[in-house]
Amino acid sequence: MPFMSTQSTTYSDILQCARTLIITGGYNSFSYADIAESVGIRKASIHHHFPTKADLVRVLVAQYREEAKAGMAALERYFPAPVDQLKAYVGYWLECVGEASKGYCVCALLATQIPVLPTEVATEVRAHFRSLSAWITTVLERGAQAGSLTLSDTPQAEAERFMAAVHGAMLSARAYGEPGVFGLITQPLIDRLVTPIPPPGA
C-alpha cells in the first residue's frame, strides 16, 4: 500500500515541521505556505490533512501530550526512586535546552500565547499542564512518604512551583541565550526537596 505509506509520511512531516516552527517562532509565526515550502508539498495537501491551522496545532498538541505521558511512564519504569524521576525529568530538558528546534516545551511556549490561541488549542495546552502537574504531585507524594523528599507545602502546591520554575528556566535560558542558565535555576529545585542524609553516627 505505497499510497497509504506516503500519506502517513506526509502527515507526520507536516506535524514535525509545524512543531519546529512553533518552537522557533510561536503560533502566529508561520503559515501553510511556510510548511509547504519546507516539506516540499502543495498547500492543498496540508489542507487535506488539516483543514485549518487550528486543526493542525490542536492535533500537534494532542500528540505532544501523548508523548509527554509516555515519557513520564518511561521515567517511572527506568527510575523507581521519586527523587531520580525528578532529576531525570529536569535532566531531559537540560539536554534539550541548547537546541533551537527542541529546547523549549511546545505547551509552555503556547501557554504564553493563550489570549490569541483558538479555543480548541488552548484547551489542549491547559490539559497538558494539568496532566504534568498531577504527575509531579504523585512523584512528590511518593517521595515524601518514602522519606526521600521533604516538602514545605502540600504536594500540589510544591508541584505547581516546581513546574513553573522548570518552564521559567527554559524561558530565561532562551532570553539570555545561555543554556547553562537552565541548570543554575533547576538544580537548586532538586537540592531543596531532597531530604538530607544524616552523617554516620548522627
Tell me the average pLDDT across 173-184.
90
- How far is 37 from 89, CA to CA, in rounded Å? 35
Q: Classify residue 129: in a domain, yes or no.
A: yes
Q: What is the mean pLDDT of the chain?
A: 90
Q: Classify residue 77: in a domain, yes or no.
A: yes
Tell me the average pLDDT across 135-141.
98
Q: Classify residue 176: in a domain, yes or no.
A: yes
Per-residue pLDDT band at 1 (split at 50, 70, 90): very low
The burial class, CB within 10 Å (0-12 / 13-18 / 19+), for 43 is middle
Q: How many percent of the chain have pLDDT more than 90?
A: 80
117 lies in which domain range?
54-193
| Angle in degrees, 0-180, between the axes of helices 119-146 and 82-96, rounded to the nearest 10 | 140
Q: How far is CA 134 from CA 32, 34, 37, 96, 102, in A?
A: 35, 36, 39, 23, 24
Q: Classify residue 172: in a domain, yes or no.
A: yes
> For residues 18 and 29, is the Cβ–Cβ distance under 8 A?
no
Q: Classify residue 6: in a domain, yes or no.
A: no
Of 154, 150, 156, whose CA–CA distance to 137 is shortest? 156
pLDDT score, position 136: 98
Of 162, 128, 140, 130, whose CA–CA distance to 81 is shortest? 140
- How far is 31 from 19, CA to CA, in rounded Å? 12
pLDDT score, position 197: 63
pLDDT score, position 6: 41
Tell me the average pLDDT across 151-162.
96
Location of C-alpha cell 531531559: 92
Domain count, the chain: 1
The one-letter code for the residue type at 188 is P
| SS3 assignment, position 37 | helix
CATH of the domain at 137: 1.10.357.10
Q: Classify residue 39: in a domain, yes or no.
A: no
Model confidence over 20-79: pLDDT tens digits?
A: 999 888 999 999 999 999 999 999 999 999 999 999 999 999 999 999 999 999 999 999
Tell me the average pLDDT across 156-160.
97
